[in-house]
Amino acid sequence: MVKLLVDSMCDLPKDYINHPSLDMVSLNVIIEGKVYRDKREIDLDGMNKFMEQGIIPTTSQVNPGDFLEYFEECAKNNVECLYLAFTSKLSGSYETARLVMKDIQERYPDFKCKIVDSLQSGGGIALIAVELLKLIDQGKDLDYLFEVTIKLIPHTHFYFSIEDLNWLYRGGRVSRGTAVVGGFLKIHPIVSVEEGELKIIGKVRGNKKAQNTIIEKVSKNIGQYLNQTVGIAYTGSMKPVEEYENALRLMGIEKIEPVPIGCVLAAHLGLQGTGIYFLDLVPEKILK
């Protein structure tokens, strides 16, 4: 038996959240000194209420004890595990899991577990997780799942636009001067997850230009794989989501699912942002 472990940075579509072969550990959101486990003790709506008051959340990685408890339970019950981790470039969760695993395997040498750095965030992790869950349902073994994961990672794309530069300033990604001028000129940064890092790949003026830029990125990179479920990640208003849906349908994409992003990522991106995530090739072709 193989189980897939993800952390709360994985923004899964609703049909997979309660999959029997899936488990999740949470990163933490700290608000005014109180620690909340992302997606378990706080959701996006709840965190936004704090942020609307000007309260700035901070975040931290998965607690080592959560990994210890999970891996030990799997080892005792002869359950194999693949942990698909949030990118190690932005969190220590991946490395913490590896350290805990060394301790577990000293005590349970027959326990089989693979820990993979997804080099992705949010919906990008979910794209890979969904394909892995399909393969688990088909009875594929752990080694095969590991190989598939490595092959899928470079074919995931996630583009996101942000309306308020102040949140990037608070996270140390832009200077105060850039945030002030950007706010005055209504500059919207375009963010991409590349090689495990959140990178600003462009800056445009206004919502419409930001949306057009992201749609252009999708059109350029999605290739012929239009028959997939394309995710729309969002942190605030649903109006931009509806506009993205219309644009994607004009491209010939029919399967679209809006998914709220997790609290940890939202804490860094701010109250209003929208993005799109997708694969650039049919999974069967990637695996060949």
Average pLDDT of the residues of the chain? 90
Encode pLDDT of 259-281 as tens digits.
Answer: 999 999 888 887 788 999 999 99
What's the rounded Cα separation, in Å, for the pair 56 and 254? Answer: 37
Q: Domains of the chain: which residue ranges?
A: 2-153, 155-287
pLDDT of the residue at 162: 80
What's the rounded Cα separation, in Å, for the pair 260 and 265? Answer: 10
pLDDT of the residue at 183: 47
CATH 3.40.50.10170 fits 2-153, yes or no: yes
pLDDT of the residue at 22: 98
User: Which range among 8-12, 94-98, 164-168 shows the weakest confidence by mean pLDDT?
Assistant: 164-168
Edge-to-edge strand list for the sheet holding 34-37: 34-37, 28-31, 58-60
pTM: 0.92
DSSP letter for each residue of 45-89: HHHHHHHHTT---EEE---HHHHHHHHHHHHHTT-EEEEEE--TT
Please check the confidence at residue 43 and state whether its pLDDT lies above 80: yes
> Which of 4-8, 45-49, 86-90, 239-243 is predicted most confidently?
4-8
Please check the confidence at residue 252 and state whether its pLDDT lies above 80: yes
CATH 3.30.1180.10 fits 155-287, yes or no: yes
Encode pLDDT of 99-119 as tens digits.
Answer: 999 999 999 999 999 999 999
Please check the confidence at residue 232 and state whether its pLDDT lies above 50: yes
The separation between the first and the last C-alpha atoms of the chain, rounded to the nearest angstrom, is 25
